[in-house]
A and B are shown apart, each in its own frame.
Chain A
Amino acid sequence: MNLTLAQSLTQTHDEMPSLREVFDTITLQSGFNTNAVIVAASLLGIAGGIIGAFALLRKRSLTADALSHATLPGITSAFLIASAMGLNARSLPILLLGATISGILGVLCIHLILTYTRLREDAAIGIVLSVFFGIGVVLLSVIQSTATSSAAGLNHFIYGQTAAMLTADAILMGTIVLIAIAIAILAMKEITIVCFNESFARVTGIPAGLIDGLILALIVLVTVSGLQAVGLILIVAMLIIPPAAARFWTDRVRLLIILSALIGALSGFIGASVSALLPRKPAGAVIVLCAGSIFIISMLAAPTRGVIAQLIRHAKLKLQIAIDHTLESKYQYPEHHPRTTFSLRVLLRLKGFTQSLSPSSALSQSGIKRGRRVRRNHMLWEQYLISCADIAPSHVDWSVDQVEHILDDDLITRLENEIRASGLEVQEIQP
């Protein structure tokens, strides 16, 4: 099999599509078959997004990988058994039934390895993945060497052939999406508790094992139904990438699931449309690359967890520390002029903390006030670390504006007395 990996939806175009074609495709006006594919791919994205979010929270992302590889021996043995029994060996329901059974067996094997041996989850996943896929590969070579009919069609399950999706697939995907949404709504509380605190779930009487089984069953469902479209290597991306991208935008489970479904739908929609419009763009790969692009954008640009936001926060914190250090040292030793960069002096002047731009400029009223507060914080924290060293590490936050925000009044009074007793003067916060 050379490079009949996955056909584009339309092989006829050789140049860029016209705007009219683009508009028709994305508004679902370019023929029934194309519509079915685009709708089915978007629905697959939604299902993968919702169920993948559960898998991510449960840290089961790679279980999906093992599971999708584990479907291959099921597909090949279903093919062999069906041809031996004289049935149509290419019948999709038979092949998918085989895929489901061996997928479940794979998950079961991971569970057995984790329960009865000392091997860790990563090894269990790797063993099941490689051994099941190995069995599948051996059976493929059996088919090639014995069966009269060729096994070429089976390769679509490995690399995927989105163009083969029909209205029936769209309906199947729609059903799975409905099931996933229903379960997400009904079992939301239980799933959330199991994901975040398994032992708490057990104590409150939530059957954690059952919930786990439910999540795994849903993963099997999505994997098997998406096999033919995206292929067994890439289907795992539909479960992993959308929730991982959504995770950057929110800390709330509900929102995570909704965003993840949206990202999955968007990837499916764009991927299938691009594949329909451009030549030689296998839809499975394009869908995954769309999801990957959304992941990269999320990782860079998300407001709090994104890389850019983190860098900005880091820079701001550094600046704040530089300002505080300068003010504290100018307040404490007015004759001594700490080394400052020009931009820092501009900033201090703009904020009204200094009277001029010169390095030896005196502090303004508000600068003195601020410097006094920083000095006081510094001294209190210092004394706190000295006198309460045993509890200190968990209760230190240097970046806090006032120590009062963290420690209670009694403790601060005590610390102030200790500082006075050691002969130093405690700065008052009042001007």
Chain B
Amino acid sequence: MISDTLRQYISFDLFPLISAICVALSCGLIGNHLVLRRQSMMGDAISHAVLPGLVAAFLLASSRSPMVMFLGAGASALVTVGLIELVKRLGRVEPGAAMGVVFSVMFALGVLMLEQAAADHVDLDADCVLYGQLETLFFVAPTEWNQLFSVGTLNDIPTQVSTLLGLTILVIIFKVALHKELRIASFDPGLATTQGIHAGLITVLLMVMTAACAVASFEAVGSILVIAMLICPASTARLCTDRLSTQIKLSALFAITAAVIGYILASFVPEMLGMPSSLNAAGMISVVAGSMVALAAIVSPSHGLIAKSFRQRSLRKTVAIEDLIGLLYRAKETGTPRSTISSIAPAMNTKDINQVIQASTRQGLVTQTNNSLELTGAGQAAGAKIIRRHRLWEGYLVDQANIRPDNVHDIAEQLEHLPTDEPDSDTQTDPHGRPVPPHSD
């Protein structure tokens, strides 16, 4: 026995949710390669350009059956891809403009054809192409559990849902079977060709799959969700990792999450807030997917703004400490083992010198008595290391890069902080005649 509330959910929300997840997953997976190839806008172009194909198929077959619509939209999508390529190649038009020209002309054609169809009192809705009608995919749920899982229920599954399930399986097979080829062709088409992989063919296949996603999805969810799902989950994942295989897995996860959260926000939350009807789920899922991009851009551990600024601060601190002990080492070299803070401060390129002194003291590199600083033993060694690198770099710049000795100091001042190996040289003095401190090891 299924309770009434649950039965209602199954009737009204099960298939829309499944459709949303299918669209999210298939578009999310394909989107990884579009984003990598900088062809994200292909999904936008294709999903707008299906309109004339839809109307033409409808007028020719005078039927609204999903199969007819699918064929019309598919033909239109392939024509669009071909035309964009043609305009790009033959007309040598910049890719963005080529897409813009082709899809806007196709869409205009579609609008005009719709208007002609309207004259014959044809019932065809252009809105669904844009926004989708997830909410209309309900079916009447049975009252008993065993009926729900019987063969009879399968026949009640709306065609759009089964199309989307089929598409998702197709996309997964495509991705798994051609994983290696897709990867090479996305990063380095030249290398792919030398390895015997037809990069052009892979591109065509990818475009066909993008078109399939756009076409299969438009009736259930509208083009706007297709575009969002092609780009957002893959972009979110790209902000979290540098590995393609991780990126693909993450994008699938993000896509499904966005679909579920977006659907809940659109369908259940308005009800709880007492609004008379639910909101547009496709739009809400796009918004959630976009928010995930924003979130990743801020908090991602590898490429997020917070992590980046944290790394930058810690680097700045390291550089400031190295500068400080370098200064103290130089002062000691010229016979002043103790330097006052006020004499050091002007030479330091930092806002808060006390913070730097505290950090160096904590690391045991410097001791402070009253207003003067002195290097510890460890500080002495670290100072020698940094000054050695500085003077070796100066020598390198003069000998190898032919820069005048007067001009090398500022460049060496930056190079000394690099974590790379020091220049290979056994000179004892720098271009200005000062001694290079010996290697500490």
Contact = CB atoms under 8 A, between A and B. Distances in A.
Interface of A: 1-3, 5-6, 8, 56, 59-62, 64-65, 113, 116-123, 125-127, 129-131, 133-138, 140-142, 144-146, 155, 158-159, 233-234, 236-237, 240-241, 243-244, 247-248, 279-282, 284-289, 291-292, 295, 299, 305, 307, 310
A142 B114 contact: no
B303 A118 contact: yes
Given A1-B127, A138-B266, A126 B283 contact: no
Interface string B320-364: 000000000000000000000000000000000000000000000
Given A240-B100, A285-B111, A295-B101, A141 B279 contact: yes
A62 B96 contact: yes
Contacts of B406: none
A285 B115 contact: yes
B165 interface: no
Nearest to B110: A285
Nearest to B100: A240
A233 B276 contact: no
Contact of A289 (B43, B112, B279): B112
A12 B96 CA distance: 40
Nearest to A134: B286
Nearest to B300: A117
A119 B290 CA distance: 13
A62 B279 CA distance: 29
B109 A131 contact: no
B408 to A, nearest CB: 25
A296 B293 CA distance: 38
A131 B287 contact: yes
A266 to B, nearest CB: 16
A307 B40 contact: no
B104 A234 contact: yes
A141 B283 contact: yes
Given A142-B279, A233-B48, 12 more contacts: A3-B115, A3-B117, A3-B118, A59-B94, A113-B293, A135-B283, A240-B97, A240-B104, A243-B97, A285-B109, A291-B105, A305-B91
Given A131-B290, A141-B283, A126 B231 contact: yes
Contacts of B206: none
Nearest to B293: A127
B230 to A, nearest CB: 7
Nearest to A241: B101
Interface stretch (B170-178, B180-188, B208-216, B232-240): B232-240
Given A282-B111, A305-B92, A134 B284 contact: yes
Contact of A122 (B38, B87, B127): B38
A133 B224 contact: yes
Nearest to A121: B38
A292 B108 contact: yes
Interface of B: 35, 38-41, 43-44, 48, 87, 90-94, 96-101, 104-105, 107-109, 111-112, 114-119, 122-127, 130-131, 222, 224-225, 227-228, 230-232, 234-235, 238-239, 266, 270, 275-280, 282-287, 289-291, 293, 297, 303, 305
A222 to B, nearest CB: 14
A116 B280 contact: no
A5 B126 contact: yes
A141 B41 CA distance: 26
B363 to A, nearest CB: 32
Contacts of A144: 277
Contact of B279 (A127, A145, A310): A145
16 contacts: A5-B114, A5-B118, A56-B94, A65-B41, A119-B239, A123-B35, A126-B230, A130-B228, A131-B293, A141-B280, A237-B101, A237-B105, A281-B115, A285-B115, A286-B112, A292-B105
A2 B130 CA distance: 13
A3 B105 CA distance: 19
Contact of A117 (B105, B277, B303): B303
Contact of B108 (A64, A123, A284): A284
A288 B38 CA distance: 27
B96 A299 contact: no
B263 to A, nearest CB: 12
Contact of B290 (A1, A134, A299, A307): A134
With most chain B CB atoms within 10 A of its CB, the pick from A59, A122, A130, A287 is: A130
B115 A280 contact: yes
B276 A146 contact: yes
A131 B111 contact: no
Nearest to A56: B97
Given A1-B127, A118-B303, A65 B44 contact: yes
Nearest to A137: B283
Contact of A281 (B43, B112, B125, B230): B112
Contacts of A1: 125, 127
Contacts of B279: 138, 141-142, 145
Contact of B289 (A62, A125, A131, A141): A131
A384 to B, nearest CB: 28
With most chain B CB atoms within 10 A of its CB, the pick from A6, A59, A120 is: A120
A282 B115 contact: yes
A370 B234 CA distance: 61
A347 B290 CA distance: 65
Given A119-B239, A127-B235, A281-B112, A2 B282 contact: no
Contacts of B116: 280
- List the 7 closest A-B pairs by CB distance, nearest first: A134-B286, A131-B290, A137-B283, A237-B104, A130-B228, A288-B108, A292-B105
